[in-house]
Amino acid sequence: MNAQVISSEPKEISLSITETDIGILYIIQHELLKASNIDFAGVIVKHPLTNECWMRINSSSKPLGEIKKATDSAIKMAEEFKQLFNSKIKVN
């Protein structure tokens, strides 16, 4: 995954993200939208042939910090799901 800042302002950031699956970005978007200080979080596939996605976040606090918190939360949730899955499924 590669990310590049397209534009950055104190309360808004736009990113170009390549070499990723949009599903991962949807999970981060979902985590972002849970926060009360996020005004907008959106993800689009810029063009399917280039595999480039754009993400924009508007926040009342620092948007880059909010992305980090949302990503950490998504990683924690995935780890909890993995543990639950492994505890319930027996492989013979």
Summarised one tens digit per residue, pLDDT across range 36-72 is: 999 999 999 998 888 899 999 999 999 999 999 999 9
Q: What is the pLDDT of residues 2-46, one digit of tens each?
A: 999 999 999 999 999 999 999 999 999 999 999 999 999 999 999
Q: What is the pLDDT of residue 92?
A: 60
> What number of other Cβ atoms are within 10 A of residue 75's Cβ?
13
**What average pLDDT is seen over the chain?**
93
Please state the pTM of the whole predicted model.
Answer: 0.86
Helix (H, G, I), strand (E, B) or coil at 48: coil
Express as a percent the part of the chain with pLDDT over 70: 98
Q: Domains in the chain, ordered, with CATH?
A: 2-88 (3.30.1360.10)
What SS3 state is found at 19? coil
Beta-carbon-side half-sphere exposure of residue 42 (alpha carbons within 13 Å): 9
